[in-house]
Structure 1
Amino acid sequence: MAQTHEWMFYEVMWRSWAGRAQVPYPVPWWAQQAFRRWSDDYDAGSYDSKEAAFASNALYRYWGMVGVKDHRQESLIGQAGEIEPVYDKYCLSFFLFDPATGALHLPQLTDGGTVEQRREAPHLPVALTTFRTADGVEFVQRTFAVPVGARQRDAVVTRLTVGSPTGQAREGLLCAALLAAGPSGFQRHDRNGREITDRRLTFLRYLPAEQRVETNSGWGPVFDTAPQQYGVYGNPEFSADPDTYLHHSPFRDLVMGGKLNGSPQAQDQVAGLCSAVFSWPYRITEDEVMEVDVRLPVDLYAGADDLAELRATPADELEAANREFWTRKLTCQGVQPELPRPVAHLADMFREARSQLLILSDLGEIHPGPTVYDSFWIRDSSVEATACSLVGDSTLAEHQLGTHYPLKFNRGGGRIGPCAEYGFYGGPHEKDDREWDSNGQALWAIGRYDRTRGPATAFGAKLYQPYVLDGARWLRDNRDGYGLLHSGWSAEHLGERDKPHYWDDLWGLAGLYEAARLAERIGAPEVSELWGAFDDLKAATAASVRWVLGEQARRGAWETYIPTGPGDVGRLDSTMIGAAAYFHPLRLHMGSKLGDEVDRAARYTLDTMYAHFVTGGFRHEAAWNAYGPYLTMQLAHAYLLAGNPERADELLGWVVGAAFPRTQGRAAALGAWNEQHAFPLASDFREVPDRHWYMGDIPHGWAAAEYLLLVRDLLFFEADEDRDPHLYIAPGIRAHWVPSGQSAGVEDAPTLFGEPFGYRLTHDAGARTVTVRIGAAPGGVRFVYPCRFGPVRSAVADGRRLDVSACGDDVRVPAGTREFTVTYA
């Protein structure tokens, strides 16, 4: 049964939307999408009622984000420029009012006008919202987050300019609305009680002397320029009638009388739907604009001294400091992909993904999202830290792995279900959901980072005892009677939590492999012990997969595929995406670590998935009933490593489009991915599922990390680091990416060989040649260039002709080469 405030919120939103022709109300974009194709089939497993599901915004979790690198709290940006500081109980948005006509112009309801939204530049986390009314008045809103004062506390600054693009004289009111609901929803309240975000606004007060708003017990916006009018509204009569909020509102007062109530304070103990509007008059002509700056104190502020510190630095200086920091960080530091004009947008998105991970980092912990995923997972962080280390953000990676992983290493003597507590990596997430993949992920990430940093840093040696050794022993000692890891819910895209999943075993193998190699590198005495643990899990996993393949064949299955686990024989659904990890990120295909039969089956599984579950992107209907952006990237990456760049390119094309979804001509996101991409948004509502779907956060840190790793490996990737170390140059650079005379490449990029690598590839279509000039390169590492332009005819390296007769399109280039040229047919 719906709680009172959930029911009230639903009714207020619905009645506002249905009656918008009389008195417009800023109904959030996500609520509009829900009303556009309403369904009573909500997720009853998570919510008690349709009103609770609606209030939590369970279906359309799209927004932009701004934040400060390494700070705790992010702020969300809605499709109409709304600003929602995640842990503060209010949302701020802007609109225009024409007193002469009584017309409200809300960017949420364009009414013949237009709303455009973008990032100010690909490397700048600055949200730019432009709203133009039908009669030619325009405001431009720039929103960014920046540290202020001596203590470098967070603040969001939003700067508005009102102008007349046509040059006609205009006058009216610029208004700021403060409301309870924001881009993320009103209140997330589900059955398990672990994900409660209470955004009810029960008390609201404006302090004119301080030009500051109080929201419940916290601080709200601070205005650089005092508003000329204001009005604060609540529910003083404790009415249970939703129409109270429609009839007693700042929007109705403006439309009906052109004025606000002038009250500085209100409360609402029924639904928590207090609201307020503040207004500034404007009169503009051809060359004039009106400007208003507002500061949102996102961090902890209290008292007159803090208010003075928040206000001390002019907004111009804060904006310049923000631009200078991100420009230096993202365009001058770290890996800078050089990509030719047809795919230059991939490099822009690379910088955006880097900024998202840096903003989602909370003092070195990268959290997968800003709201419901604002906590630390071993699984997500293993991929995120690895991505950071390989794109040049190694300090963040080192904090993740060297500081926060040991804090998640359990030392107790109890039990977690069927497994020992001691030696297990994980906090509440991993323990409560039996996420048995976490030890393999921790060991894998530590080992890969140790390789990247090189022996001089001795990163792995510092963590070997007890974090690597005892974490590996936990994998050895905590398996079921078949030698596999126990049933659990390591990743929600794998299927049910009461079954075992090969995903866990594949991660366990990769972790044990890295642990054994680390032991070899530092000369530890447990080398043979760790290889024994690896071989034991390898034998059990390979035997189980072979049994499943045989059983499926016996039952008459004509397609070869590895299902999600041994308890799912014959289950041909999208949960088999877990098998993509065999290729990426685990590289178990290199050296065919599970044997040729399993290797072949893993390759066939990619094609089976593509045939059944790819429509542009990967459709995960078995668990999420939505597209999976990071799963699509995993599949693309697996195809790249398996030698099928065409499929990788096709999937990448969908990924790019999914970062900028639009519906009814409006941008739903600004270059980021949710954990899930809803079918209605992906199709502009041509496809609406007949059952509920699942929706996570955006930006999703794991997805951002997957994109960084994919673009980096399209440029180059390492292979067989321990036996025959070599490096693939431009394995994903397709012929249509590089017009004649243009180049692709990278400089001084970190590698798993512990030394940087760089190259530049230049295409000459007239001569049918590709020339690669190598800059920094790891010593003793040979190169492979898989030519994507046409069949290889000849190759010359440093003036010496290479034998290309037996290599197909893979040109093998000796270690130490500085330049080679390939001629193709």
Structure 2
Amino acid sequence: MTWLKWLPWRYVVRYVAHKHGFIDPVALLAKLHNFAQPSEVGEPIELLRAGVVFHARGLINSRVIQHNLDWVWPYWIERQFDPNDESFIPRAFSLTHINLTHRNWTAIGYPDCPELPIVDPRGLLTPFLDSWSLDGWIMPEQGDCLLPSRADDSQQQMTVAGDVSITTTSRKQGMILQNKAWVALENGVPVVKMRLKAKADTAGYLVLALRPQNPEGVSFIHKVALNEQHDQWLVDDRKRVHFSQPADRYHVSAYKQGDVYIHLADAQQQTEGLCDVGMVTAAALFKLPENDWQEIEVTVPLTSAAQPQLQADAWPAEQQKCCQLQCPDPQYQFLYDAAINSLILHSPEDVYPGPYTYKRFWFRDAAFIIHALLCAGLTDRAARALQQFPARQTLLGYFRSQEGEWDANGEVLWILKRYVELTGRELSSDWHNPLKKGARWIINKRLSAKLDAPHAGLLPAGFSAEHLGPNDYYYWDDFWGVAGLQAAARLFSKTDPKLQQEFTDAAADFSAAIDNSLMHCASRLKRPGMPASPYRRLDAGAIGSLAIGYPVQLCRPDDARLLDTVEFLLKRCFVQDAFYQDMIHAGLNAYLTLHVAQILLRNNDPRYLVLMDAVAALSSPTGQWPEAIHPATGGGCMGDGHHVWAAAEWLLMVRNCFVREEESHLVLAAGVPERWLNSENVIRFGPAPTSFGSISLTIRQQQDENVVLQWQADWHKAKGPQLEICLPGYQRLSVAAATSGNVNLKKRSISR
């Protein structure tokens, strides 16, 4: 807010504030900035804008929900506003009411379709981004209704093989309601489907409800009209909701008349409604015979015209392209397959870290998600996403998604290097200038190494990865900067030796500056652990400094600085065996827990599996993780309820358990759990792309408990890499790689 530096404005703002009895905002902002290092960017304007929109919704929620608790609300509201529920949050001084306990939803969709409908934990379907929703209820002739958002007995499951769908089943007092949601292609038009199937031991009605709400709270509906055939709503003159059969009864209510829920039994019916407030509710009722099933199918077109880029039978076609896992652990198998689907769904062109709150672009998230796409064998999707990068580069070379995030250039250059390594393809000449500008931006952005300060030679203070704290000189940014320069040197190695040398030297100089800064930290902290920045103590923000070991591997697996940081985090920042980020997120983080697990796996520390098991246990019934998870409720408390970065990290973690690169060799099976091994199970993984080529593994235990490990490879070069086989519980072997082969692994004897 540089305009505040203009004296006339500062005077006017202060005068108006004092006249009306408000605190001086100029002085307040100055005080706030004192808690961060001086930076050219306070907070990214994109995040400020998103925050304003987010809390504007929360302000609307506070004006509506608490005064209308007789309405039927989404699951999170029914729980968070219930004083008898563990999710209850007192609201006394909260200006905004937002979902802090059950930020759980799951995207459904169709490969390459940008529309991503979401389903909440009780089946509430939100067809469009931040839109109104559809719900299903049962109203018996006598007794209470079955309302899934209030039901105690409700289960949800996701079909991950073939066409993706979510089925929610709710039960109450002789009533059962099944709600299945999926996206299909009809004449080239993507449509979201909801199939409601109901049965009750007394006659009544199956209810399709139109709701001005979604998993974030209120979402306005001003107008709805039912057609003459009574089989379609027109919502706000734009969106159509078609029923597979005409409704037997129909009701509409505006805000002043209350929720349509309280009017379901009214004798008078309505086919249309208007509401200036924007809180129209509507219900279509279908007769439900006693002890017999009633079924309706609801269709909502997601686009107004056919989408030629969408292919028939796209789900199985895309899934078959992927690196396949076959293992005896049903939870690990399900989560891996669900992660594959998440990656496919959220890469229509750009890659998105979520279908709702995070349906926008960050280079940081994109680097991890594209890396997972590459490791999964979804090369074309990764290449398409990378092609979107140059348009976001400024004239000075900055790869900008948000201002003040200095890690972006390093991440872009690193993921481009990984693309070349994992595919065996070289980048086209069109990339020459963006690469050169991007690498030189890192060089030019660094502070002077001659400064008499611990941050000498580092990147400037910035907002960095957002969850590390206020603006500071974050090592996360610096490690990515070094990795980016090393990547640029590698990418120019065959085309421009001068640039290769320039960036090699720059990376070495940058790395030396970081080492010098970390030496200051070690002296100050009396231990080798790496804080988030040169001026911080060890705290939860140190999670960002693990980037030196994962994913960029700038140090050995047993680097003392790296391992001491991990030990601090495990001792001070873990709850229920998961990393608890007490800065901003205030919740358990699946993806950051897996960063720690990756460091442990690289160092052959068996605790990696404890962390993997904890992350698996934190997943939702649909195989997803919100960005941060409430330690008590197990529900999402921050970020997108379907966090694709977390899904990417699960896939990468499983992949590295089977195969990972370490310098000039491949490490095989180092993280395959010993509990998976028995003579009845065959474990398979592949084909897995690596920097040396693709490889497929098969692991079988014999009757004598020895294990046969087989591989089949398609190396980039005639000679493959050295293979280090490190199956837990078995003797290690080092073999020269052939195109195919097998080894017999003997069970390691346990010394007393």
Query: Per the shorter chain, which TM-score range?
Result: 0.7 to 0.9
2:170 corresponds to: 131
Q: Do the aligned partners of 2:550 and 2:595 also contact (CA within 8 Å) in 1?
A: yes
1:730 equivalent in structure 2: 669
Return the offset for 1:78: 1.8
2:551 to 565, 575, 585: 585
Tell me which of 529, 533, 549 is aligned to 2:502.
529
Contact 1:83 / 1:91 at 8 angstroms: preserved in 2? yes
- What's the counterpart of residue 478 of structure 1? 445
- Determine if the alignment matches structure 1 residue 782 to structure 2 residue 707: no
The offset of 1:163, in angstroms, is: 3.3
Cα 1:333–1:564, aligned 2, differ >3 Å: closer, same or farther? same
Q: For residues 317-345 of structure 1, give each alpha carbon's deviation from its aligned partner in whole angstroms, at most 9, with x where no partner exists.
A: x9xx98x5423432x32100122x2x243
Matched, 1:655 2:615: yes
1:293 matched to 2:297? The reply is yes
Q: 1:487 aligns with which of 461, 477, 485?
A: 461
User: 1:121, 1:366 → 2: CA distance?
Assistant: 20
Instruction: Give the Å deviation of 1:818.
Output: 1.1
Query: Which residue is 1:771 aligned to?
Result: 708
Q: 1:762 to 1:31 in 2, by over 3 A?
A: same
Deviations 1:576-605 (A, max 9, x none): 001221111111124x8xxx9xx3111211
- Which residue in the other structure is 2:263 paired with? 253
Equivalent runs, 1:325-404 vs 2, <5 Å:
325-330=314-319, 332-339=320-327, 341=328, 343-361=329-347, 363-401=348-386, 403-404=387-388
2:269 alignment partner in structure 1: 262
Aligned to 1:576: 542
CA distance in 1 between counterparts of 2:67 and 2:303 reads: 35
Q: Alignment partner for residue 811 of structure 1, among 707, 730, 733?
A: 733
Alignment of 1:271-286 (within 5 A): 272-285=278-291
Shift in alpha-carbon separation, 1:5–1:407, aligned structure 2, 3 A: closer
d(CA) in 2 for partners of 1:4, 1:776: 54
- 1:175 match: 207
Tell me how far 1:776 sits from its aligned partner.
1.6
**AA partner of residue 372 (structure 2):** A
Question: Aligned residue for 2:108?
Answer: 66
Q: Which residue of 2 aligns with 1:194?
A: none
User: CA-to-partner distance for each residue in 1:714-767, whole Å, 9 max, x for gaps?
Assistant: 1111121xxxx21111010121221234232323221112x2111212123x52
Aligned counterpart, 1:438: 408
Once residues 90 and 364 of structure 2 are traced to their aligned partners in structure 1, the CA distance between those partners, rounded to angstroms, is 34
**Separation in 2 of the partners of 1:622 and 1:406?**
33
Cα drift, residue 820 of structure 1: 1.2
Does 2:604 align with 1:643?
Answer: yes
- Are the counterparts in 1 of residues 541 and 583 from structure 2 also a CA contact under 8 Å? yes
Question: Partner letter of residue 171 of structure 1?
Answer: A
CA distance in 1 between counterparts of 2:249 and 2:648 reads 46
Identify the residue that residue 138 of structure 2 maps to in structure 1: 96
Residue 485 of structure 2: aligned partner = 512
Q: Determine the structure 2 residue equivalent to 1:719.
A: 662
Match status 1:13 vs 2:65: yes
Give a deviation string over 1:430-475, Cα, whole Å, max 9, x none. Answer: 22xx000000000000011011111xx322x435411111111111
Change (3 A) 1:12 1:483: closer
1:214 aligns with 2:153: no
Q: Identify which of 401, 420, 426 aligns with 1:458.
A: 426
3-state SS of 2:713 partner: coil
Q: Post-superposition shift, 1:276? A: 0.5
Q: C-alpha distance in 2, partners of 1:728/1:425? A: 33
Q: Distance between the aligned counterparts of 2:390 and 2:137, measured in 1?
A: 49
1:718–1:726 Cα contact (<8 Å) kept: yes
Change beyond 3 A, Cα 1:679–1:41 = farther
The residue type paired with residue 347 of structure 1 is Q
RMSD: 2.6
Contact residue 123 and residue 351 of structure 1 kept, 8 A: no
Q: Give the CA deviation at 1:560.
A: 3.7
What is the CA-CA distance between 1:137 and the residue it aligns to?
2.8
CA displacement at 1:370 relative to structure 2: 1.4
Among residues 585, 592, 603, which one is paired with 1:624 in the alignment? 585
Matched, 1:823 2:738: no
In structure 2, C-alpha distance between the alignment counterparts of 1:124 and 1:699, rounded to whole Å:
18
Cα 1:41–1:9 shift into 2, 3 Å: closer
Aligned counterparts of 1:623 and 1:8: Cα–Cα separation in 2: 23
Tell me what 1:607 maps to: 567
**Alpha-carbon distance in 1 for matches of 2:579, 2:708:** 36
1:426 partner SS: coil
**Does the 8 Å contact 2:103/2:637 carry over to 1?**
no
Note if 1:561 corresponds to 2:561. Answer: no
Could you tell me which runs of 5 or more consecutive residues in structure 1 were left unpaired when the two chains were aligned: 20-24, 43-48, 187-198, 236-243, 310-317, 412-421, 554-558, 661-668, 685-692, 793-809
CA contact (8 A) 2:131 2:214 kept: no
Q: CA deviation at 1:624?
A: 1.9
Change (3 A) 1:107 1:410: same
Paired with 2:495 and 2:650, the residues of 1 have a C-alpha distance of 32
Counterpart residue identity of residue 781, structure 1: P
CA distance in 1, matches of 2:568, 2:56: 48
Alignment of 1:672-687 (within 5 A): 672-682=624-634
Instruction: Note closer, same or farther for the CA distance 1:41–1:230 as it changes in structure 2 (3 Å cut).
Output: closer
Cα distance change on mapping 1:405 and 1:121 into 2, 3 Å: closer
Structure 1 contact 230–261 (Cα < 8 Å) conserved: no
Take 1:622 and 1:107, find their aligned partners in 2: how far apart are those partners? 34
Task: Say which SS state the counterpart of residue 356 (structure 1) adopts.
Answer: helix
Q: Secondary structure at the match of 1:141?
A: strand
CA positional deviation for 1:148: 2.5
Give the Cα–Cα distance (whole angstroms) in 2 for the partners of residues 88 and 547 of structure 1.
Answer: 48
- Distance in 2 between the 1:284 and 1:121 partners? 34
Q: 1:147 aligns to what?
A: 185
Deviations 1:639-679 (A, max 9, x none): 111221x211000001101112xxxxxxxx52101111122
For residue 566 of structure 1, give the secondary structure of its aligned residue in structure 2: coil
Question: Residue deviations 1:452-505, cap 9 Å, x none?
Answer: 111xx322x4354111111111111111131111111121121112x1100001
Q: Is the 8 A contact 1:208 1:226 kept in 2?
A: no
2:224/2:237 contact within 8 Å kept: no
Report the residue type matching 1:200 in the other structure: F
SS of 1:714 mapped into structure 2? helix
Pairwise CA distance, 1:297: 2.0
Deviation at 1:95, TM superposition (A): 0.5
My pick for the range that moved more, 214-223 or 63-72, is: 214-223
Match in the other structure for 1:190? none
Letter aligned with residue 724 of structure 2: V
Q: Unaligned regions of 5+ residues in structure 2, if any?
A: 1-21, 23-51, 449-455
Counterpart in the other structure of 2:32: none
Hey, what does 2:35 align to over in structure 1? none
Aligned equivalents of 2:294 and 2:80: distance in 1?
36
For 1:258-317, what per-residue CA distance to the aligned partner results, in whole angstroms no more than 9, with x for missing partners?
Answer: 2364222222223x21101110112255xx53221100122236xxxx9xx9xxxxxxxx
Distance 1:673 1:694, change over 3 A: closer
Question: C-alpha separation between the residues in 2 aligned to 1:300 and 1:210?
Answer: 22
**Share of identical aligned residues, percent?**
23
Distance 2:106 2:164 in 1: 9
Q: Report the CA distance shift for 1:163/1:60 in structure 2 as closer, same or farther (over 3 A).
A: closer
